[in-house]
Amino acid sequence: MTPRDQSSADLDAHRVLDRDTFYIPNFITEQEEEYLLRKIAESPQPKWKKLANRRSTGAFKNSPHGQPNHIIMNEYLPGQGIMPHEDGASYFPVVATLSLQSHTVFHYYKYREEEDGSTTCTARSIDKSPVLSLLLEPRSLVISSGEMYTAHLHGRVILWPTPIDAIEEDVVVTDVSNNPSAVSVSNFDRLDNQSLKTAIESREPLRRSVRYSLTCRDIARVSNFQRR
């Protein structure tokens, strides 16, 4: 992989709306994606701890190590989702996820407020309407930080009106007023894949294929984390 330092780049230029979420299309090249996919295929039980010459966005500049020190690879088959969840306090409150091979739709949720305005009860329920939905293109990077990490959940399951996780294709639109069953994404204007944008504008379903994700985090004390 060819090193490319983006730490001096203006990360705020990739901010989605006014959220602490950043979307960077084509963060790696097609050749780099092929290299990573080949390494994944060659590894029966891949244990990704570090990527040589990994690129920097500056997102981890204030973390304990100034860069990610923990990378997890996950495989998602078409129809597989993951319920909204939090990453927890063991990590520095920044997570960066690189998508490989297939697109997916990524949702952020918040906890439902109680009558007194609090969300601190033990069994907190989730507001089923996502506060933000993104279309993640192959080779794109999504960064969640600040309140989008500490006060929100993220996942690939649609909760409204009932949980739907076995999604093999996505109907993505820019306006859901005429199609309430479709998903409206907030990063349409930032998408770089013209075929995906054309399909969305034509209201064509986007078929999912096998997707791999590399999730990068910074753990303050790796030895303690590994004993959990």
Q: Is 58 inside any structural domain?
A: no
Residue 76 has pLDDT above 60, yes or no: yes
Q: Is 54 inside any structural domain?
A: no
Q: Is 62 inside any structural domain?
A: no
Q: Is 61 inside any structural domain?
A: no
What is the pLDDT at residue 91?
87
Read out DSSP for the chain?
----B-TTS-GGGGB-TTSSEEEETTSS-HHHHHHHHHHHHH-SS------TT--B-STTTTSTTSS--EEEEEEE-TT-----B---TTB-SEEEEEEESS-EEEEEEEBPPPTTS---SSSPPBPSS-SEEEEE-TT-EEEEETHHHHSEEEES-B-SSS-B---SEE-EES--TT-TTSEE-TTGGG---HHHHHHHHTT--EE---EEEEEEE-BS-HHHHHT-
Q: Is 50 inside any structural domain?
A: no
What is the pLDDT at residue 66?
87
Model confidence over 113-154: pLDDT tens digits?
765 555 544 457 899 889 999 999 999 999 999 999 999 999
What is the pLDDT at residue 179?
67
Q: Is 30 inside any structural domain?
A: yes
Query: Higher model confidence: residue 224 or residue 158?
Result: 158
Task: Give me the domain span that covers residue 141.
Answer: 12-43+72-113+123-219
Q: Is 48 inside any structural domain?
A: no
Total domain count for the chain? Answer: 1
Q: How confident is the model at residue 3 (pLDDT cuts 50, 70, 90)?
A: very low
Range with lowest mean pLDDT among 15-19, 41-45, 222-226: 222-226
What's the predicted TM-score (pTM) here?
A: 0.82
Mean pLDDT in residue range 25-39 = 95
